Amino acid sequence: MASVQAYYKVNKKLNHVDWDIEAAEKGGYSCFMEKEIFEQPTGIKATLERRLDKDGKIVLDSIKMTKEDLENINRIYIVACGTAYNAGVLGKTAMQRLTSQETLQSQ
């Protein structure tokens, strides 16, 4: 039987991922869920800081949506599973309080 490579040539771009074995471990926490919970503030801070200018205003320059595009959003979907489901529940509540948009959440 011929190998798969004999039939298909695959051209793939290689991407180097910077991580170490410590990043894949529990880092002293009793379980991965506990680690995830305690790392959330750091993750949220890192995510938000990339979108703030020097005056603390939100910058969405890489998101190519106009003010009119944003105003025309009439439904927001939050899809999550596992422990992220709980964040989805919180996100749904926050979106419904902060906007007039229908927010649907799914697991």
Calculate the average pLDDT of the chain. Answer: 81
What are the pLDDT digits (tens) for 30-81? 888 888 889 989 988 888 888 888 898 888 778 788 888 888 888 888 888 8
- SS3 track for 35-104: HHHHHHHHHHHHHHHCCECCCCCECCCCCCCCHHHHHCCCEEEEECCCCHHHHHHHHHHHHHHHCCCEEE
Question: Is the model more confident about 105 or about 64?
Answer: 64
